[in-house]
A = this chain, B = another copy of it.
């Protein structure tokens, strides 16, 4: 069983570290001239996956936009996961699940089981109920060679109050969470563990110092393109960890569809920009 982080890094060396978000939102379905139903979602995914063949190491379907269409939409999410994996990419299900531990057992099966569940490689998690509640999902991920990405710092305006609140020992909520992630990954051994982090790419440079507390974690960095950050921001702010950063882009690429050539060209442009992060890291390592 090859650990998730190793599988990601091996693919990222071939294809760049770019994660492509798959967001069949009402807005994008309309922009692409597709029907706002499960059939429209299926055609949307078919076009995106075809355009992305062999270009990216990981794709990230956003569950909210599949669940909009009920069980038929949920079935399209499962089909997309299977197709992404069949194309040789990893699939990160963006579900931000977060509940008490006994409930998280259920979500662990829903995400990672390959017969009834989605059979994904990784999932995003929401830690409001405490890091310990995520343990059943992390355990299940480890058994299947999968990974998780825990939201640590998001960049929407209202997130700061909560995520920078202070524990009695002076650490912020996000810092304490980062330390728990690092301790867990250290307990597994190896260089990079199964517990990744989500840290918005539009944070201030002061806020991004949190990545120094995450030496053993892949770091998913959303917010590129449509949300305002540029790849050069990522290189500058996340320089210390750039060999482990996973820049993720959704609307910034998807708005170029539905034309396959335009879409593939957009993926290539972001992929080439994403290379620069890891190339710089390699240059830094050999300097």
Chain A residues near B (Cβ < 8 Å): 25-26, 37-38, 62, 64-65, 67-75, 78, 94, 96-107, 109-110, 113, 116-118, 126-133, 151, 154, 156-163, 165-167, 172-173, 176-177
Contacts and interface: CB of A to CB of B under 8 A. Distances in A.
A70 B154 CA distance: 29
Given A96-B98, A161-B176, A75 B68 contact: no
Given A74-B74, A128-B126, A113 B68 contact: yes
Given A129-B159, A130-B154, 5 more contacts: A38-B116, A64-B106, A70-B116, A98-B128, A101-B156
A254 to B, nearest CB: 13
Of A72, A97, A133, which is in contact with the most chain B CB atoms at under 10 Å from its CB? A97
Contacts of A126: 96, 98-99, 126, 128-129
A128 B162 contact: yes
A64 B97 contact: yes
Nearest to A172: B165
Contacts of A167: 161, 165
A161 B130 contact: yes
A129 to B, nearest CB: 5
A34 B75 CA distance: 24
A132 B98 CA distance: 18
A117 B64 contact: no
Contacts of A107: 64, 67
B106 A25 contact: yes
A183 to B, nearest CB: 13
22 contacts: A25-B102, A26-B105, A64-B97, A64-B104, A64-B107, A64-B110, A67-B74, A67-B110, A68-B106, A71-B72, A94-B99, A96-B98, A96-B99, A96-B103, A100-B156, A128-B159, A129-B156, A130-B154, A130-B157, A133-B158, A162-B176, A165-B176
